Amino acid sequence: MGLFTELKDSISRVTDRLFSEEEPKRIGIYGPPNAGKTTLANRIARDWTGDAVGAESHIPHETRRARRKEGVEIERNGKSVEIDIVDTPGVTTKVDYEEFTDEMEEDDAIRRSREATEGVAEAMHWLREDVDGVIYVLDSAEDPITQVNTMLIGIIESRDLPVLIFANKIDLDDASVKRIEDAFPQHKTIPLSAKEGENMDEVYENIAEYFG
C-alpha cells in the first residue's frame, strides 16, 4: 500500500468514527471456542435488556452464526455507551466433525461442522468490515499463547480497533489471570466469571469507559 493510500485510509477511519458518534457501536465478542463468549453476551444482554442472545453449551461451536443484540445501553460511573453486541463463533483454523460424534449422530455432527465453518468465515469477514471494537474473551484456565489468539489479536491491532481482553472463568481452580496479562501486556485485561456473574461491575465500567 502506498504512502498516500495509507494516509487517506487513516484519515478516513478517523472521520468515520467522528461522524458515527451517535450510532450504537458494534462490539464484536471474539475468542477461541469454549471461552465463554455466549455466556458473557447473555450476561450483558440480560443485565441491560432482560433478553438473552443465544444458547450456551459445553460442546464447542454451539454458536455457529454471529448473533447481534442491538441497542444495549450500558451506564457506569456517569459514563454510558450504546452498543450492538455481536456474539461470534469461536475462531479456529480447523473443524473436524468427528469431534462431535460422541455427543450426537453423524449427520448432526456434519451439519454442525458445516455451520461452524460458515460461521467462522463470516466472523472473520465481519472483523475486517463491520465491527467498531472488540471484546476478546479468553478462558483463564487455558494457555492463552496459541497461534489463533496471537493471529486474532494481531488482526485486531492492524485494523486499529479498540480491544479489551476479558479473562473469563476465574471461578475455576486453575485459572490464572496473570498468564493472560503476561501474554498480551499491550492490552487491558479484566478478570471475570460470566457464568457466576463475578466482577461484572468492573466489566461494565470498562465497557462504558473504553467504548463510550
By CB under 8 A, name the binding residues for other proteins: 3, 6-7, 9-10, 91-97, 110, 113-114, 117-118, 120-121, 124-125, 127-128, 147, 150-151, 154-155, 157-160
Q: Give the separation between CA 32 and CA 37, rounded to whole angstroms.
A: 9
Secondary structure in 3-state letters for 148-164: HHHHHHHHHHHCCCCEE
Q: How far is the CB of 38 from other proteins (least distance, A)?
A: 19
Q: Which of 175, 183, 174 is nearest to 145 (CA)?
A: 183
Q: Which is nearer to other proteins, 99 or 198 (CB)?
A: 99
Q: Which is nearer to other proteins, 31 or 191 (CB)?
A: 31
Q: How far is the CB of 137 from other proteins (least distance, A)?
A: 18
Contact between residue 77 and residue 205 where contact means Cβ atoms under 8 Å apart: yes
Q: How far apart are the first and last CA of the chain?
A: 31
Q: Give the separation between CA 116 and CA 112, rounded to whole angstroms.
A: 6
DSSP 8-state code for residue 22: T
Q: Which is nearer to other proteins, 42 or 113 (CB)?
A: 113
Q: How far is the CB of 206 from other proteins (least distance, A)?
A: 22
Q: How far is the CB of 59 from other proteins (least distance, A)?
A: 17
Task: Kindly report the length of the chain.
Answer: 212
Q: Three-class SS of residue 35?
A: coil
Q: Which is nearer to other proteins, 70 or 160 (CB)?
A: 160
Q: How far is the CB of 94 from other proteins (least distance, A)?
A: 3
Q: Give the separation between CA 121 and CA 12, rounded to whole angstroms.
A: 26
Q: Which is nearer to other proteins, 55 or 121 (CB)?
A: 121
